[in-house]
Amino acid sequence: MTTIMDGKKLRDKILSGLKSEIQTFDKKPVLAVILAGDDAASRIYVNNKKKTAENLGIKSIVIEYPADVGENILLEKIEELNLDKEINAILVQLPLPAHIDKQKVIDTIAPIKDVDCFTIENSGRLYTGLEPYVYPCTPQGILYLLDEYKINLEGKHVVVIGRSNLVGKPAAQLALKRNATVTVCHSHTRNLSDITKTADVLISAVGEVLIEDDMMKDDCVVIDVGIFRDCNGKVRGDVNFETVSKKASYITPVPGGVGPMTIASLMVNTVKLYKEQNKRSS
């Protein structure tokens, strides 16, 4: 029997606990989001983040810039936010316009306010086994789902498809921390399905239809991080849900699987940073 992992339900559960916790705080946590350029999907994501934050009692400030914004303007704004004691968490929405040095901008964020865990210091902590303040939102969301459905990764073969800094690499690292045997596949991988057929847990973060049922073994756990609109305008993921869901033991739907978990993680991370900063100043 296949279980469909319900990201919306788990998001609501996490957020309702978080809302009660926030009500006990003396002041609201504050999340600052920088949005540069006119990427339509980014705008939707940022609006969603803002709405979710405000429903919980997190104040959210969105700072918008046109696509031709100078890099220095972004760096100066981040430095200002770093110094501002009212701001607990800073998120630079990706992608940034092409002329901007993304890593330079991200690395300007004070590590204690880096809600995505994207700075070199925080990713260094993650990859050396030291604990960063928070984990990157989407991989953290995947862990929440695995925990909710009591899926233990120890000794399992976890195959991650995609090697982005946003999802693939940190997801692989977190699986490794849970004592999985991890394989990372990407666009240059040969004989992809020979590898995916040996996966106990398959995490796909590619953004195109890729995973068919003949690429996996029976009872595989399938986590679909991909999300895009197909040529008919339908929102879908990397996995052929119709066929794969008949064979998997657990599977995340798109939409309604990993996506809501990313936003839940962002809210949890904002509160974690708020608490860490309050601990330090008290």
Q: Is 205 in the site for ligand GUN (CB under 6 A)?
A: no
Closest to ligand GUN by CB, 157 or 260: 260
CB of 261 to ligand GUN, least distance (A): 11
Q: Least Å distance between CB 104 and ligand GUN?
A: 15
| Binding-residue pattern over the window 65 to 104 for ligand GUN, x denoting contact by CB under 6 A | --------------------------xxxx----------
Question: E-assigned strands of the chain?
Answer: 3-4, 30-36, 59-65, 89-92, 157-161, 181-185, 201-204, 221-224, 228-229, 235-236, 250-251
Residues 6+ apart with CB under 8 A from 112: 133, 273, 276, 277, 280
Q: Is 119 in the site for ligand GUN (CB under 6 A)?
A: no
Contact status, residue 125 vs residue 95, Cβ threshold 8 Å = no
Residue (60 or 93) nearer to ligand GUN, CB: 93
Judged by CB under 6 A, how many residues of this single chain contact ligand GUN?
9
Report, as residue numbers or ranges, the catalytic residues. 49, 93, 116
Applying CB under 6 A, among 114, 116, 224, 238 the residue interacting with ligand GUN is 116
- Could you tell me how far CA 233 lies from the centroid of its own chain? 24
State the Cα–Cα distance between residues 167 and 165, nearest whole angstrom: 6
Residue of closest CB approach to ligand GUN: 94
Per-residue contact track with ligand GUN, 140 to 169, x per CB under 6 A?
--------------------------x---
Nearer to ligand GUN, 145 or 220 (CB): 145
In the bound complex, what is the minimum distance in angstroms from residue 46's beta carbon to ligand GUN?
9
Between residues 94 and 112, which has the closer beta carbon with respect to ligand GUN?
A: 94
Closer by beta carbon to ligand GUN, 10 or else 244: 10
Dist CA 86 CA 92 (whole Å): 17
CB of 216 to ligand GUN, least distance (A): 26
Measure the CA–CA gap between 214 and 170, rounded to whole angstroms: 27
The tokens of 104 are what?
A: 């330079």
- Which of 15, 22, 89, 137 binds ligand GUN (CB under 6 A)? It is 137
Q: Which is nearer to ligand GUN, 216 or 258 (CB)?
A: 258
Taking the C-alpha atoms of residue 227 and residue 209, their distance in angstroms, rounded to an integer, is 10
Q: Which residues touch 116 (CB under 8 Å, ≥6 apart)?
A: 91, 92, 106, 136, 137, 269
Cα 197 off chain centre by: 25
Interface with ligand GUN includes 138 (CB under 6 A)?
yes
- The span from the CA of 258 to the CA of 13, in Å, is 15
Q: Which residues of this protein are in contact with ligand GUN, per CB under 6 A?
A: 91-94, 116, 137-138, 166, 262
